[in-house]
Amino acid sequence: MKQALVSSGPKVEIVDSPIPTPGDDAVLIKVVVSGSNPKDWKYPHFTNSTYNSGDDMAGTIAAVGANVWDFKVGDRVAAFHVMKAEHGSFAEYGVAPASSTFRIPSKTSYEEAATIPLAAMTAAAGLYSNLGLPAPWEPAQSPIPLIIYGASSAVGAFAGFVETLIDRSKGDAIVDYREGPETLVKGIKDAVAAAGLAEVKFAFDTICEHDSYIHISKGMAPTGHITVVLPGKKGYSDIPQGMTTSLTWVGLVHHGPYSIKGSMGINHQSTTNGKDFGFVYFRLFGQGLADGWFSGHPYEVLPGGLASVETGLDNLRNGRNSAKKYVFRIAETEGAGKTGFSL
């Protein structure tokens, strides 16, 4: 099979590899469409490593492990691959744990499905595990003000999709952070006041650049809680005392309770059983797609299959992409399906 190996740069090499065999608790997926994320270039770059860094895949089940009971060959699925592990999504076949795989209805395209796993699960982890907001099946009985910083990013979009999903009649508002920190803080305070609220206690920073979480904190209650997707350079010591800061790590869905120590000055622990959390929410994504209340992120198909991975990741690194996910149709890769390897 063909697969793309990503190294620092980003540089991408397309190679021939054997089709992998899934472990006992995993599934083998014939990848129809692979999604992409900024971490796909960041991890190889910052760790100076070369590997198939794709983690979002949509396709059909080609084989199941010995312990897999909820999927069968031929099922249409999307999945979140274990980050930094072998057999990622930039390939004709990929492997994912059954617990982070979910069925997709026939009305959902593989392109749309490939935008969902990592970004949507990051949003779910931040909102429902870290911030402890009410689960979707138990809606809040009164308003809970929430700041989502970077709402046009994929994670931000799944947490609350900008103008298309907000309801200004309920106090929802958009503040343009590009106008500078002072304008951002004033915009937050003005939006809170306009909604008739005393303060906002929860924030989800989906970008974590240019001291964004520090600026957010200035518009929040002194005992508020900010969850972030990247650790701060100073380990959050620059956040006002009395505030809570947590790290949202999507990799939790492949683990039980975990501890991160010494990463850029931050020590973080979670008592959440991430595997169980992921199992529940990935299944909910599938149900939401079928019922129509959930959808994927806007996307752009880059032509040429795996041949466009380097272009896509380079665009992500250099900020040439906004509000759309890059996806790749694997069958468009030159030589796909003709390498001689078989199951």
Q: Cβ distance 21 to 28 under 8 Å?
A: yes
Q: Could you report the per-residue pLDDT of 239-278, keeping only the tens digit for each?
A: 788 888 888 889 999 987 666 554 444 555 666 788 999 9
Question: 120-272 has which fold?
Answer: Rossmann fold (3.40.50)
The mean pLDDT of the chain is 87
Residue 278 DSSP SS3: helix
Q: What is the DSSP string of 27-83?
A: EEEEEEEEE--THHHHHHHHHT--B----EEEEEEEEE-TT--S--TT-EEEEEPPT
Residue 203: what pLDDT? 92
Q: Cβ distance 146 to 200 under 8 Å?
A: yes
Question: 2-115+296-332 has which fold?
Answer: Quinone Oxidoreductase; Chain A, domain 1 (3.90.180)
pLDDT band with cut points at 50, 70 and 90 for residue 162: very low
Which run of H or E residues covers position 315? helix 309-317
Q: Does position 121 have pLDDT exceeding 60, yes or no?
A: yes
What the block records as the tokens of 34 is 């692979």
Spatial separation of the C-alpha atoms in residues 208 and 139, rounded to whole Å? 28
pLDDT band with cut points at 50, 70 and 90 for residue 188: confident
Residue 197: what pLDDT? 77
CA distances (Å), 12 to each of 51, 54, 310, 328, in order?
Answer: 9, 12, 5, 14
Q: Could you report the per-residue pLDDT of 56-80, keeping only the tens digit for each?
A: 999 999 999 999 999 999 999 999 9
Domain boundaries, given as residue ranges, for the chain = 2-115+296-332, 120-272
- Going 35 to 38 to 40 to 41, the CA torsion angle's sign is positive
Q: What percent of the chain has pLDDT over 70?
A: 86
Q: Could you report the per-residue pLDDT of 308-335, keeping only the tens digit for each?
A: 999 999 999 998 887 789 999 999 999 9
